[in-house]
Amino acid sequence: MLKGKKILIGITGGIAAYKIPLLIRLLIKNGAEVQVILSPSAKDFVTPLTLATLSNNPVHSGFFDNETGKWHSHVELGLWADLFVVAPATANSIAKMNLGIADNYLLTVYLSARCPVMIAPAMDLDMFKHSATQKNLTALRARKHIIVEPTSGELASGLCGEGRMEEPDEIFKLITSFFSKKKQFKGKKILISAGPTFEAIDPVRFIGNYSTGRMGIEIAKSFANQGGEVFLVLGPTDLTVDHPMIEVFPVTTADEMFDQCQMQFPSCDIAVMTAAVADFKPKVKANQKIKKTDNDLFLELTPTPDILKSLGQKKRDNQLLVGFALETNNEVENALIKLRSKNLDLIILNSLSDPGAGFRHSTNKVTIIDRHENLKTFPLKSKTEVADDITSAIATL
């Protein structure tokens, strides 16, 4: 799977370093060539002998080899690698990588590496949340480095929270997908809408829905992993998106989402509208909080613009337009009506009557219908897999 791929692993001084031998074993088993660099403090957590044995290569940690007296060139290693994976990456090393501080061998290699860089942060939850760390990570993302988001769980400090390095098998999957994905959307621009919209009633209340945006985010990632340049217009959500090929445009209301989509669509080759857009908004937004009374309250609602339909009306022949249909009854019939009336090339039907499908699930079950009205029904899968099925179907168009 990774035959001939040259992977450089940089280990910095965090307790999660003890998991890296497992990652190296997986990489070697799958045909990769691996070289390892240890930061000075990483040696306290994992031994060079273990790493050298598993990687079949001597481990690098300093500018000089004490045994041979030879000088190691940091430039050589940086040029050798197809991918540089820094895991675990401590808050300290992340900060130095951002600032370009080169006070150890690993950091000099980082500064001279020309290959893509993947960083797997590992630290205590408060260090991870600290604005200094977050700013450093944002800067590294802007440098198009791939950040392997840490997971939530029990930390070495005994505290529980976000900051735990992703497990070796998950990092391995990211590395293989980095190398294996066909870059079939390279050079293509893709517009995606995702998440809910919130329509204000007064300063504290809104009309919204249960969408988390997860399906749209997974589709964005699937396109981006295959080389596409993605513009993600994202309604309010707690989920974060972190991919060098995805530019996020946060919006709150249907009107804002409409404006942003109108702006991006003309320069895009493909548009996939996954957002659960509120179909109605209050006709007026109260300036002050509406006070409780004993009387019934009537809200006058007015329709929001149908974003997908408006894009269907202005779609050029060289553009593909994909919509979703969220249905509770007469599913296929309703999806076909949307496919025709909104001038779509493809519609993805998900039914709320399927267990595990739709809002607030990490799984989904979809039927993909093309413009010739051919149907393909898929089993219940993770939203990541469903996203890959959807982008494959789009690729065949």
Task: Using CB under 6 A, list all residues that contact ligand CTP.
Answer: 193, 254, 273-275, 277, 279, 304, 306-308, 323-326, 338
- Give 241 or 308: the residue with its C-beta nearer to ligand CTP: 308
- Give 94 or 190: the residue with its C-beta nearer to ligand CTP: 190
Least Å distance, CB 326 to ligand CTP, is 4
- Give 90 or 304: the residue with its C-beta nearer to ligand CTP: 304
Least Å distance, CB 207 to ligand CTP, is 13
DSSP string, 107-167: HHHHHH--S-EEEEE---HHHHHSHHHHHHHHHHHHTTPEE-PPEEEE-TTS-EEEEEPPP
**Residue 145 token pair:** 């480095």
Tell me the C-alpha distance between 397 and 395, whole Å: 5
> Looking at 209, 225, 330, 364, which residue is catalytic?
209
- Give 61 or 274: the residue with its C-beta nearer to ligand CTP: 274
Least Å distance, CB 208 to ligand CTP, is 13
- Give 162 or 269: the residue with its C-beta nearer to ligand CTP: 269
**Residue 44 token pair:** 């306290």
Packing angle of the helix pair 214-225, 383-396 (nearest 10 deg): 50
Our answer to whether residue 209 is catalytic in this structure is: yes
Please say whether the beta carbons of 144 and 174 come within 8 A.
Answer: no
DSSP string, 230-293: EEEEE-S-S-----TTEEEEE--SHHHHHHHHHHHGGG-SEEEE--B--SEEESS--SSPPPP-
Please say whether the beta carbons of 299 and 201 come within 8 A.
Answer: yes
Least Å distance, CB 284 to ligand CTP, is 19
Packing angle of the helix pair 48-55, 20-29 (nearest 10 deg): 10
Least Å distance, CB 357 to ligand CTP, is 13
Closest CA relative to residue 369, chosen from 347, 389, 350, 352:
347
Least Å distance, CB 227 to ligand CTP, is 24
- Give 120 or 268: the residue with its C-beta nearer to ligand CTP: 268
- CA 229 from centroid of its chain's CA atoms: 13
Closest CA relative to residue 149, chosen from 242, 86, 222, 234:
242
Q: Which residues are catalytic?
A: 209
